[in-house]
Amino acid sequence: MRADTVLTAAHVVAGAQRIHVRSEKDGAVLWDTEATVAWSDETIDVAVLALSAPPKSLGRIRAAEFGAVRDRDAGLTCSALGFPLFKRRQDAAGMYRDSFHARGGIALLTGRREGVLEFRVQQPEQDPDPHRSPWEGMSGAAVWAHGRIIGLITAHHRQEGLGSLTISRADRWAKQVLGEAGPAALDRAGLRPPLPFVVPVWRNRKVLIGSSVVLATAAATAWWLARPEPLHLEMVGTCTRADQTLVNRSSGFTPGGRYTDEVIAPDGSTPQNVSTTGTVNNDGSLKLAWPCSGTDQRGTYRVRVTDGATGRHTGWTTFNVKYVPPYRCRFHQRDGLWYAGISDTQDSVRGPGSRGTEVAEAQCLLQRLGYELGTAGVDGRYGTNTQRAVISLQSKEGSAPDGILGARTWHSLRTTVPPAEPATQ
């Protein structure tokens, strides 16, 4: 990509009256100039911007290069830099968004019909606004793999999870655009088909100089060097009380990929309301955990996890549940707010699939307000009955009925007067 040309997503600059491009380093602005849209295509969601007055310092910048990816049963490590919504901060100067370096991987056979790639990254710890994507601001970010740009981040589909971003593939652009303007603009940006395939950088060039014996030996042992890291999973601890959460020790999974877990209870059944899928951390470990609950069966549970990117799975690992006292609601009022004696939170975010003390606290408060939770009652598991009760409360209080426990819903739970309880004068 030429130094005086900027690539971004078409929807980022659609309808813009003025476009500014700025370069920063260590918090200081190196240069700031205006740009115009030289070409844009909504089909592939790509726009080429031309700097109106390119700074002289751009002459010292090496132009970026593009690369293609192979459609094969494999994964590829990638990275991107952007300013997403969940990095919103505030200081004395006002509101701003800090940078986020997204690192993860793509499974190369995902998104073939749509002609896109799925970038799996570490998902945000919190979703600050359920009505807006936490990744808002990452659109247009270049995705790099082994020193080359393989595409742009163009979308986040919530149904695919908070750790999934969609990439518009650079190696498909020239085939998808129509007319002469598109290829000419892409050529200006430095994209000239056919693009070379991205491959890991061979850092030790000296090994290329050797005898045929060395080459034969390398070929004979390639299977050993290329073998995948073994999958490791271990659940740590034993459930003895309701405020415990058993964590795991794991490694060897595809960074940023998806995993599926299988859990078998002591009686051989599959426990209700147990998460069955998740996103692998960037270091190849899992987010898998088990919040202990008073409704858990006593005995030995078995867990096995499958790596979605490779299809490999771990062996069965076990953990034990001893007697866990059930959650008990002990209501008291403090500073005008009601508490059930399990958690003091006022702003934690919980939703379907969540488990633990915060969920049990909400269930107690819901029961206090007359909402039915089914036969399970207060079990610390955010299931269908709990979601239905939360939505009903939100509708009555005039909140968005999204079924998500957040600060506003917690305030309603802690301040609403039960139907049979007279208001305090």
User: What's the whole-number mean pLDDT along residues 261-281?
Assistant: 84
The residue ranking higher by pLDDT, 177 or 337, is 337
Burial code (b: 16+ CB inside 10 Å, e: under 16) for 311-333 equals: eebbeebebebeebeebebeeee
What is 332-415's CATH topology?
Muramoyl-pentapeptide Carboxypeptidase; domain 1 (1.10.101)
Least trusted range by pLDDT, from 57-61, 93-97, 235-239, 250-254? 57-61
| Residue whose token pair is 């939100």 | 394
pLDDT over 90, % of the chain? 34
Predicted confidence at residue 59, as pLDDT, reads 53
| Band of pLDDT at residue 212, cut at 50, 70 and 90 | very low
**Using CA atoms, how far apart are residues 303 and 301, in angstroms rounded to an integer?**
7
Helices 407-415, 357-368: crossing angle, 10 deg rounding: 40
Q: Which fold has domain 5-188?
A: Thrombin, subunit H (2.40.10)
Instruction: Give the pLDDT score at 166.
Output: 93
Per-residue DSSP letter, 98: -
Rounded Cα gap, residues 195 and 140, in angstroms: 20
Indicate if the pLDDT at residue 358 is higher than 60: yes
Tokens of 398: 């005039």
Section 255-268 average pLDDT: 90
Which pLDDT value is given to residue 368? 93
Q: Which residue did the predictor score with more confidence, 127 or 14?
A: 14
CA–CA distance, 5 with 15 (Å, rounded to integer): 19
Architecture of domain 232-321: Sandwich (2.60)
Instruction: Name the band, by pLDDT with cuts 50, 70 and 90, for residue 273.
Output: low
**Taking the CB of residue 192, how many other CB atoms lie within 10 A of it?**
12
- For residue 268, pLDDT over 90 is answered with no
| 186 and 175 Cβ atoms separated by less than 8 Å | no
Residue 11 burial by Cβ neighbours in a 10 Å radius (0-12, 13-18, 19+): middle
Q: Region 35-51: what's the mean pLDDT?
A: 84
- % of residues, the chain, pLDDT over 70: 87
What residues does 260 pair with on adjacent strands?
Answer: 277, 306
Q: What's the pLDDT score for residue 326?
A: 80
pLDDT of residue 27: 65
Give me the half-sphere count of Cα atoms (radius 13 Å) on the Cβ side of residue 293: 25
Which one of 16-20, 61-65, 228-232, 350-354 scores highest in mean pLDDT?
350-354
pLDDT number for residue 332: 93
Confidence of residue 319 (pLDDT cuts 50, 70, 90): very high
Return the structure tokens found at 18.
């003025």
For residue range 396-407, list pLDDT tens digits in order. Answer: 989 899 999 999
pLDDT given for residue 152 in this prediction: 93
Instruction: Report the half-sphere exposure of 321 (CA within 13 A, side-chain side).
Output: 23
Residues with Cβ < 8 Å from 337, sequence gap 6 or more? 346, 414, 415
Contact 79, 143 (CB under 8 A): yes
Tell me the residue ranges of DSSP E strands in 69-178: 75-82, 88-91, 94-97, 100-107, 116-121, 142-145, 148-155, 164-169
Q: Considering the chain, what is the average pLDDT of its residues?
A: 83
Whether 217 shows a pLDDT value over 50: the answer reads: no
Least confident of 26-40, 66-80, 100-114, 191-205: 191-205
The C-alpha atoms of residue 248 and residue 245 are separated, in whole angstroms, by 10
CA distances to 1, 66, 112, 199 from 196, in Å: 14, 8, 19, 9
Q: What's the confidence (pLDDT) of residue 58?
A: 57
Max alpha carbon distance in the chain (Å)?
93
The whole-number pLDDT of residue 228 equals 63
**Rounded Cα distance, 177 and 154, in Å:** 16
| Whole-number pLDDT of residue 125 | 75
Q: What are phi and psi of 284, to 5 degrees?
A: 85, 10
Per-range mean pLDDT, top range of 110-114, 156-160, 324-328, 362-366? 362-366
Task: Say if residue 185 is exposed, middle or buried (CB neighbours under 10 Å; 0-12, 13-18, 19+).
Answer: buried
The residues, ordered by sequence, that sit 6+ positions from 285 with a Cβ below 8 Å of its Cβ are 248, 249, 250, 251, 253
Q: Using 50, 70 and 90 to split pLDDT, how confident is the model at 248? A: very high
| Residue 229 or residue 163, greater confidence | 163
Question: What is the rounded average pLDDT of the residues 297-322?
Answer: 91
Per-domain boundaries in the chain: 5-188, 232-321, 332-415
pLDDT of 371 reads 94
